[in-house]
Structure 1
Amino acid sequence: MKPDGANSITEGYQKRNKKYFFTSLILLMITLCLASFMMIYGNTIYSPAIIFQVLMGEEIKGAGFTIASLRFPRMLSAILCGFAFGLAGNTFQMLLGNPLASPDIIGVTSGASVAAVFGILVLGLSQNEVSLLAVASGIIISSLIYFLSRKNGFSNGRLILTGIGIQAFLNAVTSWLLLRASEYDVASALRWLNGSLNGIKTDQIPRLFIAVILSGGIILLLNRHLMTLQLGETYSITLGVHIKTIRLLLILCSIVLIAFAVSVTGPIASVAFLSGPIAARLVGSGRSNLIVSALMGSVLVLTGDLAGQFALPSRYPAGVITGILGAPYLLFLLLHTNRKGENIS
């Protein structure tokens, strides 16, 4: 018979697993419900039967274009981009041990944003070309931030501060481009910068799906090492973790997720920042919350887009709604951290 201490540990482990499973299941169900609502509701309400027929390839006058070309890619991009933002943001926060270490704040999204604005305003590129340019620029700028932070050894604080500095510079470049551009071109750039699901094409989805599957799969496979890294470098080395390799893989996979997601929807504010902390509160401590944070990202993007379309007198991009949600939490986090006297860097 197991000692009482061992029984308590086993019971606690089983309880956390059950909580994790049911939380993930509930978030998955909410995601599917929101996705279904997005497909059904709009200027015209379609029945599930009609939607199914259109997706199966049947030609239904008046419904085919709206469902297959507008609502379906919009719904898929919301789920995939939210999943990517949530997973990558939480990975950054866990890896760097800092709730502020999200792609929104440390400059990862700024690299993709400035390239997209340049492509729209200066080069006059098509939507697909802008997406590819944003991916390339996001990866290059993010890699630059990482390698600059490795001077005299890697430092979490140096990575965050370097990212914030690069972000400030790139935001200034973006503002300069907007000021110099023709007023007729600014609207499309601003719509992209605000994080919008409008106008997403079906041919943008496959590469986003592949990026989420490959990069997200690698992050989930390295989850055990990510949990070990939170114990500190000394313990991680003792337990046989190749710190430099694992850290580089996790950061690169997170960067790829963010770059591909931003290239499709633009930088949807606060999703990467909020998903991890919300998931941690739902699941509790002592358990990985990567899957939960990824599903929470999908819920936030779907909710933000639906609220922006139907809950307010005017229509707003999803990024405006999620940004409104993120601002109070950032203030709360800063006040809470200052009250406790912690160092966030």
Structure 2
Amino acid sequence: MRKAARPRTLRGPAATSLRVEPRALLGGLLLVAATLVLAVVLIGTGDFEIAPGDVVRTLLGDGTPADDFIVNDLRLPRVLVAILVGAALGMSGAVFQSVSRNPLGSPDLLGFGYGSAVGALVVITVFKGGATEVALGAVVGGVLTGAVVYLLAYKKGIHGYRLVLVGIGASAVLVAVIQYLIAKAQLIEATRAMVWLTGSLAGRDWAQVWPLLAACAVLFPLVLGQGRALRVIEMGDDAAYALGVPVERTRMLLMLAAVLLTTAAAAAAGPISFVALAAPQLARRLTRSPGSNLLTGALMGTVLLLASDLASQRAFGADQLPVGVVTGLVGGVYLLWLLVMERRAGRV
């Protein structure tokens, strides 16, 4: 039997080192390659088809004026939003699943996406706000939901199943609030709210790219910098305390960063479901690497969202579906499979 490749440690100057697992590195490179291929194909997809070679030439500054307008002004922002949203959801899902030590511990099931939805719907249906106000409402709603769930789940620390149960309860309450807001809204606002709740990348432009890019640029290094501490916490609180890790402070910092990533993604594209749930688990199965798989989870989230957006535009003929519908269809099947596997393992 062939033995699995052992992790290697690359040593640098000033006593720095980097632990590299060959399979995880290969899996990450495959996900990066898949992201690039899907992005090029997706940019060329639309009413005016552009060949992949022409897309690459246009991105490098050697395209025709017509291709330059379609690629750089119309389609590139949408693809960049998909990449950033998928990465944000994948990384936030990896954090929550590691913190809760439960594969069901994702923002979808813990209520943070619904919290963002309530915040956005309050702005839409009550204050009749524009796109900027809706995005801000989504962020505020998600952060407030995260704070409430954390406080309700806290009892001498945060424990996985208590966090999941409190999150599911919060989700139920927030779904009822969403339904109430839609039922009481005027027809125009209710229609607008339903479009937002579906989750879509249609019409995304540079106004959504820059704030989301700024959020990811700040939060990704913060989360990755706590990767070692998160891996130790997965061993148990007692072991983490013994190794000098400030467990609750680290957990609260990571949960705050993950909530902000989730709300930033919702502000840019609406509540895209199931990406945060599926991406970390699929990344772990690809790399077969223990731990949180933060970076590969983010890359897997990007691949899932790009593939779903491509399917939403090409798999249903002339009828283009919002990407949230496709992720919901795929994620529902995945969730059923995951529940069956957890039941067989005796964990649910």
Please state if 1:183 is matched with 2:187. Answer: yes
Higher alpha-carbon deviation: 138-147 or 40-49: 40-49
| Deviation per residue, 1:143-192 (Å, 9 max, x gap) | 11112211454332222222111111111111111122233333322221
Q: Is contact 2:198–2:325 with CA below 8 Å preserved after alignment?
A: yes
What is the DSSP-based 3-state SS (H/G/I as helix, E as strand, rest coil) of the residue aligned with 2:280? helix
Instruction: State the Cα distance separating 1:327 from its structure 2 match.
Output: 1.1
Quick one: distance in 1 between partners of 2:315 and 2:191?
Answer: 23
Query: CA-atom RMSD, angstroms?
Result: 2.3
Please state if 1:197 is matched with 2:201. Answer: yes
Please state if 1:327 is matched with 2:321. Answer: no
Instruction: State the Cα distance separating 1:69 from its structure 2 match.
Output: 3.5
Identity of aligned residues (%): 35
Instruction: State the Cα distance separating 1:49 from its structure 2 match.
Output: 4.6
- Are the structure 2 counterparts of residues 239 and 27 from structure 1 closer, same or farther at C-alpha, using a change threshold of 3 Å? same
| Deviation per residue, 1:277-304 (Å, 9 max, x gap) | 1011001143552111111100111111
Q: Is contact 2:200–2:269 with CA below 8 Å preserved after alignment?
A: yes
Q: Is contact 1:54–1:63 with CA below 8 Å preserved after alignment?
A: no
Quick one: distance in 2 between partners of 1:231 and 1:274?
Answer: 22
Aligned partner letter, 1:12: R
Instruction: State the Cα distance separating 1:138 from its structure 2 match.
Output: 0.9
Q: Is contact 1:271–1:297 with CA below 8 Å preserved after alignment?
A: yes
- Are the structure 2 counterparts of residues 140 and 128 from structure 1 closer, same or farther at C-alpha, using a change threshold of 3 Å? same
Gaps in structure 2 of 5+ consecutive residues: 10-19
Instruction: State the Cα distance separating 1:331 from its structure 2 match.
Output: 1.4
Aligned residues: 334
Quick one: distance in 1 between partners of 2:68 and 2:289?
Answer: 47
Instruction: State the Cα distance separating 1:253 from its structure 2 match.
Output: 0.6
What is the DSSP-based 3-state SS (H/G/I as helix, E as strand, rest coil) of the residue aligned with 1:316? coil
Aligned partner letter, 1:34: L
Please state if 1:289 is matched with 2:300. Answer: no
| Deviation per residue, 1:49-88 (Å, 9 max, x gap) | 577558859992x555533333111000000000000000
Q: Is contact 2:94–2:292 with CA below 8 Å preserved after alignment?
A: no
Aligned partner letter, 1:246: T
Match of 1:4 in 2: none
Match of 1:274 in 2: 278
| Deviation per residue, 1:282-329 (Å, 9 max, x gap) | 011435521111111001111111111111132111111111111122
Select 2:6's aligned residue among 12, 15, 40: 12
Instruction: State the Cα distance separating 1:195 from its structure 2 match.
Output: 1.2
Equivalences for residues 86-97 of structure 1 within 5 A: 86-97=90-101
Quick one: distance in 1 between partners of 2:227 and 2:215?
Answer: 18
Quick one: distance in 1 between partners of 2:154 and 2:290?
Answer: 30
Quick one: distance in 2 between partners of 1:124 and 1:53?
Answer: 39
Gaps in structure 1 of 5+ consecutive residues: 1-7
Quick one: distance in 1 between partners of 2:316 and 2:128?
Answer: 32
Quick one: distance in 2 between partners of 1:106 and 1:143?
Answer: 12
Q: Is contact 1:193–1:266 with CA below 8 Å preserved after alignment?
A: yes
What is the DSSP-based 3-state SS (H/G/I as helix, E as strand, rest coil) of the residue aligned with 2:108? coil
Q: Is contact 1:83–1:296 with CA below 8 Å preserved after alignment?
A: yes
